[in-house]
Amino acid sequence: MNAHQIAQVSSQLPSALPRLDWITDAQRLQRLSQDFSWFSPVLKQALQGKYGDVAVRPRTEGEIASVVAHCARQGLPITVRGSGTGNYGQSTPLHGGVILDLSAYNQLCWVHGAVGRAQTGMRLWDLDRQARAQGQELRWLPSTYRSATLGGLFGGGFGGAGSITYGPLAAPGNVLAARVMTVEAEPRVLELRGPDAMRLHHTYGTTGIVLELEVALAPATPWLECIATFEGFDAALAFAQQLGQAPGIAKKELALMAAPIPAYFTGLAAYLPEGCHAVMALVAPEAEETMHCWLAQHGGTLRYCVRDQWAADKPVGGHKSLIEYCWNHTTLHALKVDKGLTYLQTGYQPARFAEQLHALRSALSDEVLFHLEFLRNRDGLFSCSGVELVRFTSEQRLNAIMDIYRQHGVLVHNPHVYVVEDGKGNNQLDPGLLQAKAMLDPLNLLNPGKLRKAGLPACVQQA
C-alpha cells in the first residue's frame, strides 16, 4: 500500500466499527499526531507533515481488540497514544494509519497495600490521588504528571520526581507486571511479569499494546516543597549533594538550576533573586531543621518552604507543585521566554559528576545552561542527570556539543532523534526486546519506523 491507500483503508474503519469514538477531523488529527518534539528544532523539521489518517478513543478492552483486529487484517499501522506529552515524536505516526488514543481507557483496577494496578490511559495525577486516598502514592511522577498517562510514562518516559529515591522506572521492583494485547487478526491478551514486562518499557509503543500496569507504590507523604538560592554554583552543588546523599532524609525531588536559568521562572520571580543559582527540593517535613542547618553551612538562603502544598491545591506561580518547574518543565518555562533555546538529556557518572560538571562548565558555559536532576541510577548509586539548556545555532554545533559531553565520559540520551536505538546513550537494545516484539506484534504494525532493528512492515515497504 502507498500512503494514499493506507489513508483510504484507514478512513473506512469508522463505518466498519460505528459504535466507537472516532476522530476524523483534520485539525484534531494533526493535534493528536503531535507531541512536544517541537522542543527540538531538529525534530520539528524532521516530523513536519507526519499525521495519522484516523484516530479512535476506545473505552474498553473489547473496543481496543476490535480496532486492533481490523488493523491486523488490513495491515494498517497503529500508533498508540496516551496524552501526547512525549518529547521525541514518540506518538507521531511516520506512516499514517490509525492513532489508538488510550486516554479514555483510564480506570483504576485496584490498590492492595503498596501495590497498585490501573488501565494505561489513566492520568498519573488521578492515579496518585486515588492511591493517596489509601495512604500510598506513586513512586515517580514526570513533571507532566497532571496530563501524562501511566502507559505513556511506561512507553516513552524515564522517571522524574521520585527517581531520587526509587531510581528510574526501569529499576527492578518499580514496575511489577503488564497486561498486553497482541496485534493479530485474533488479538490475544497476555500477562507479562517482572523482566518480561520491562522489555516493553521505553520502546515508544513499538513492541506491544499495554493495557494495564501493576506498579509498586510508596507511603503517601505531605512533602515540604522548598526553594533555596545560592550566590555560587559550587555551594549550590555541595548543598544538593549533601541533601541528595543523606540516607535519613526522605526525598521526592532534588534539582539544581544554575544561573541564569532561575530568571526564566517568571511565576517564581518573588523567590529568586537576580543572578542566583537555585536548588528545588521536595523533602519529608521532619527534614526542615536539618535543611536550615546545612543551608547555613553552605551560605544558602531558604526562599520558599510550604508543606503539603499539593494536597492543599495552593498554586505556586500558577502550578500545583514545584515539580512543575523541574525536569523538562524547566525547558518549557525557558522556551516561553527565549525561543532560541533547545536542550540536552545527559547522564553523569556517580563517582565523577562534580568533576565532569566542572570541566563542562569551563568548556561550554557560554552556550550551555546547567540544569541538573539528582537521582539514584538503576543500581541505586547517587548521581545526577542533566536536562541542560542549549543556545541553538545549528544542528552541526548541537551534535558537536553532544560529542564534547561524550568526550568527558557523560552519557548523552539524544533528545533530537525519534528512533528508539538512537535515543539510547549506549545504542544498545535489550535482545529480548525484539523477541517480545516478534511475539506481540508479528505483523510489525506498531509505530513503524521508530524501531530501526524491526525494519518496516510490508504495507509501508510497498509504499
Ligand X SMILES: Cc1cc2nc3c(=O)[nH]c(=O)nc-3n(C[C@H](O)[C@H](O)[C@H](O)COP(=O)(O)OP(=O)(O)OC[C@H]3O[C@@H](n4cnc5c(N)ncnc54)[C@H](O)[C@@H]3O)c2cc1C
> Under the rule (CB under 6 A), what is the footprint of ligand X?
35-36, 79-87, 90-91, 102, 120, 142-144, 148-149, 151-153, 155-160, 204-205, 209-210, 327-329, 332, 447
Q: Which is nearer to ligand X, 65 or 238 (CB)?
A: 65
CA distance 112 to 335: 41
Q: Which is nearer to ligand X, 104 or 363 (CB)?
A: 104
Minimum distance from CB of 148 to ligand X (Å)?
Answer: 3
SS3 105: coil
Please choose, from the candidates 460, 443, 440, 379, the residue with its C-alpha nearest in 3D space to the C-alpha of residue 203: 440
Q: Which is nearer to ligand X, 138 or 238 (CB)?
A: 138
Q: Which is nearer to ligand X, 300 or 423 (CB)?
A: 423
Minimum distance from CB of 317 to ligand X (Å)?
Answer: 15
Judging by beta carbons within 10 Å of its beta carbon (0-12, 13-18, 19+), is residue 337 exposed, middle or buried?
Answer: exposed
Minimum distance from CB of 299 to ligand X (Å)?
Answer: 29
Minimum distance from CB of 136 to ligand X (Å)?
Answer: 19
Q: Which is nearer to ligand X, 191 or 355 (CB)?
A: 191
In sign, the C-alpha dihedral spanning 297, 300, 303, 306 is negative
CA distance 341 to 334: 8
CA distance 132 to 142: 17
Minimum distance from CB of 132 to ligand X (Å)?
Answer: 19
CA distance 299 to 118: 45
Residue number of the CB atom closest to ligand X: 152
Minimum distance from CB of 256 to ligand X (Å)?
Answer: 15
CA distance 307 to 349: 33
Minimum distance from CB of 440 to ligand X (Å)?
Answer: 10
- Amino acid letter, 40: S
Report the DSSP beta bridge partners of residue 256.
279, 372
CA distance 71 to 66: 9
Minimum distance from CB of 85 to ligand X (Å)?
Answer: 3
CA distances from 166 to 139, 162, 170, 380, 414 (A): 7, 6, 10, 8, 23
Q: Which is nearer to ligand X, 82 or 300 (CB)?
A: 82
Q: Which is nearer to ligand X, 96 or 160 (CB)?
A: 160
Q: Which is nearer to ligand X, 85 or 182 (CB)?
A: 85
In 3-state terms the chain splits into helix, strand, coil percentages (rounded to 5) of 35, 25, 40
User: Which helix (H) or strand (E) element contains residue 385?
Assistant: strand 382-386
Minimum distance from CB of 324 to ligand X (Å)?
Answer: 8
Q: For residue 180, which phi and psi values (nearest 5 degrees)?
A: -130, 145
Please choose, from the candidates 381, 382, 377, 453, the residue with its C-alpha nearest in 3D space to the C-alpha of residue 413: 377
Instruction: Check if the beta carbon of residue 188 is closer than 8 Å to that of residue 442.
Output: no
Cell of 187: 488479538
Q: Which is nearer to ligand X, 408 or 444 (CB)?
A: 444
- Amino acid letter, 142: P
First and final CA of the chain: distance in angstroms?
5
Minimum distance from CB of 342 to ligand X (Å)?
Answer: 13
Please choose, from the candidates 88, 163, 152, the residue with its C-alpha nearest in 3D space to the C-alpha of residue 373: 163
Q: Which is nearer to ligand X, 55 or 238 (CB)?
A: 55
